[in-house]
Amino acid sequence: MILVTTPTGQIGSRVLDALLDAGDAAGPLRVVARDPERLPPRVRERAEVVPGSHADPDVAAKACAGADRVFWLVPPNPAADSVEGHFRAFTRPLVDAIATQGVQRVVAVSTLGRAVAENAGQISASLAMDDAVRATGVHHRALCPPFLMENLLHQAAAIRDRGEISLAAYGDRVLRTCTTRDVGAVAARLLLDGTWTGQDDVPLVGPDALTPQGMARVVSEVLGRPVGFRRLGSAEYRAELLRHGASESWARGLVDLASATAEQGFYGIAAPETPGAAPTSFRRWCEEVLRPVVLG
């Protein structure tokens, strides 16, 4: 049986769609969802649904019982009092389920930066989660994308109204990207394959070597209107996060994350592209996803 967490999220929903499209090859499917009513009808018709959060040990144990393959993703919680505590809350139930419920393979969403990233907020917490899960000896694949293109969807209004993309990144340094569609596709392929063993990272780096300024030029060309890039300083970025409801801890973590990716380079030009795993270009994503959101 395959268990999918975050089935209504940007990545989890992609994973689940691919598994449903695989038909009988996927075998029995189960999802754990905080709000089952948000699940599409075809999911509720095909998959067993366990209500609740997979941070709840009882819910996680029930969801993992009899599941030999698990897709695990820690959903963001900007209101969390502690970044590390938030990730630990989702790690302990999985570690316990591996020991007691017979989970054999875990496919988890992680990040580039292993053995490189330092003081990197949510990135450091995610990598620590991988280490804790791997310490159980379970077969494990960590999907490791850099900057997700879908992060720009939060700026759709600014792009439309002000012609501006703003990030806490250097405008003239390469920022590698990936789309959730490609992450979900690779996760589904691994979940459908019950033969792989061991523990490894799976880098997911798209085919582009664009700077944020270059990304803004592509967006401008796709939209047919001027779009520029503005770099956010740490103080401005933190203030913006707090203004949108983030806790002090979550905001500090994201500022540290942005600083680490900008200064330590693990999302930069040194990260080799992986076209077989992440084929979607930034321009194609802008044409297919960003443009309809901004102009729709």
Per residue in 274-292, pLDDT (tens digit) is 999 999 999 999 999 999 9
pLDDT at 199 over 90: yes
pLDDT one-digit tens code per residue, 55-85: 999 999 999 999 999 999 999 999 999 999 9
Q: Is the pLDDT of residue 118 over 90?
A: yes
Alpha-carbon distances of 176 from 53, 149, 215, rounded to whole Å: 32, 10, 10
Position 23 scores a pLDDT of 95
Per-residue pLDDT tens for 224-251?
Answer: 999 999 999 999 999 999 999 999 999 9
Which domains does the chain show, CATH number per domain? 2-145+180-203 (3.40.50.720)
pLDDT score, position 53: 97
Which pTM was predicted? 0.96
Q: What is the pLDDT of residue 253?
A: 98
pLDDT digits (tens, 9 = 90+) for 1-40: 999 999 999 999 999 999 999 999 999 999 999 999 999 9
CA 164 from centroid of its chain's CA atoms: 24
Two structure tokens written together for 162: 């002000």
pLDDT at residue 61 in the model? 96
Residue the block writes with tokens 């001027």: 226
State residue 296's pLDDT score: 87
